Structure 1
Amino acid sequence: MRHEKVDVIFQAAIKVFADSGFDQARMDEIAKEAGVAKGTIYYHFKSKEDLFVGLMNEGVQKLIDFAKRSIKRYDSPTEQMQALVKSHVLFYVENGMLAKLLLSEAFGTKSRQHQFRMKIHEYLRLIETILRRGAETGEFKVKHVPEAASAFFGAASVVVLQKLYSLEESELRQIDEAVPQMIESLQHIVMCSIKNSPYL
């Protein structure tokens, strides 16, 4: 069972990394934000890099788990793909600071790139599974499944992040109003590109 302090440290790290960036963030700041001694952080993580990688893996795993819970209620690949779009948007909106952090800082050192690619690949495999099932049932017409999965991840991420970045902190409550439009637009784009018959 994971120590409860790890969750507190992760939440503090998200804020400090998001505010300062990886290079400028200091373990002292994270400890202060978390309300723990710096030694407590080093007890769980050997370095700032180790903390960031742990945080990154945790965040992507939460995205994967959230997506799996969303799609398991549906049987058809079409419904699952629509649910996946919705879950992706909702997760990014509900975890905006984490989403920004993952995509802005994950492509730093080779170590972070490697760890990020490994974890994201798990999410891409989930998307690929739905796409392949849809091709097998005749619902989807996808020529290059891995590329299509990557395109989905990129497009869905950018749509939400662009909205988050375009709003000032005082305006972030408006993001909830934009969620239905983002979901509808992405579902239309994604389904039009993969359906074997017209999707309107």
Structure 2
Amino acid sequence: MEAAYRCLSDSHREPVTMSTILHTAGVSSRAFYRHFRSKDDLFLALLQEGADEIAARVDRVAAAEIGSPADQLATWIGEIFDLMVDPRRRMQMAVIDSEEVRSAAGYRDMRERSHASRERSLADILRRGRATGAFPLADPDHDAVAISALVSRILSSVAPEDMQAVKQAESRLLDFALRAVGAVARE
């Protein structure tokens, strides 16, 4: 999988061949097929690995229940933005979102499942906020999808090396999300 990340993150004009990935990994096709059925399977495994990591990070935020629901929402959003500024994670996310990986059979379904797993913890935070009155306008399941989509949109439009822009985007997103659920923006 590391070899696939390396090959896909390098500049290339043509699709990366399996032989290139196998050569980079230093494994035979027989060894590859013991673990994966196809190149698409490998690409879906890359997506699953990334999705599992993100879900685990945000699930920990929701499970910890530290601070107010607004604090938890801020921490949830912060976890996602932290991934953006980590060069290795950013490279992995770029590979996962590359044209080649997106063309893998089953990509769309797995991507939907990965979004749903990420949104589950956000919906839990929003539910707690609604129950305590901190988020009186929250519609947890729908708002989690909307906030998560907005996070993805913003992450794709902000230069990750511009930390000031990243922090400003994170702050604006949090303020928007808090207003959307009926909370007062944090100072």
TM range, normalised to the smaller chain?
0.7 to 0.9
2:75 alignment partner, one of 71, 83, 91: 83
- Report what 2:93 is aligned to: 99
Matched to 1:112, the amino acid is Y
Which string of whole-angstrom CA distances, capped at 9 and with x for unpartnered residues, describes residues 96-134 of structure 1? Answer: 122223344565456211122123211111111111111
Show CA shifts across 1:29-67 (max 9, x none): 212333333332222111011111111111000001122
How many equivalent pairs are there? Answer: 182
Counterpart of 2:109 in structure 1 is 114
Give the match for residue 167 of structure 1. Answer: none
User: Aligned pair 1:14/2:8, yes or no?
Assistant: no
Deviation larger for 43-52 or 73-82: 73-82
- Where structure 2 has 5 or more consecutive residues not aligned to the other structure, the ranges are none
1:150-175 Cα distance to aligned partner (Å, 9 max, x none): 121121122222224xxxxxxx6x34
Matches within 5 A, 1:13-92: 13-19=4-10, 24-71=15-62, 72=64, 74-92=66-84
Aligned partners of 1:15 and 1:178: how far apart in 2?
A: 28
The partner residue of 2:129 within 121, 134, 137 is: 134
Matched, 1:149 2:144: yes
User: SS of 2:158's equivalent?
Assistant: helix
**SS of 1:96 mapped into structure 2:** helix
Q: Contact between 1:18 and 1:101, CA under 8 Å: does it hold in 2? A: yes
Contact 2:40 2:105 in 1 (8 A): no
Measure how far apart 1:193 and its partner are: 1.8
TM-score by length of 2: 0.82
What percent of counterpart residues are identical?
Answer: 24
Which residue identity does 2:149 align to in structure 1?
G
| TM-score normalized with structure 1 length | 0.77
SS for the counterpart of 2:76 is helix
- Note closer, same or farther for the CA distance 1:36–1:100 as it changes in structure 2 (3 Å cut): same
Contact 1:107 1:113 in 2 (8 A): yes
CA distance in 2, matches of 1:12, 1:191: 41
Change (3 A) 1:192 1:58: same
> What runs of 5+ residues in structure 1 fail to find an aligned partner?
1-9, 165-171
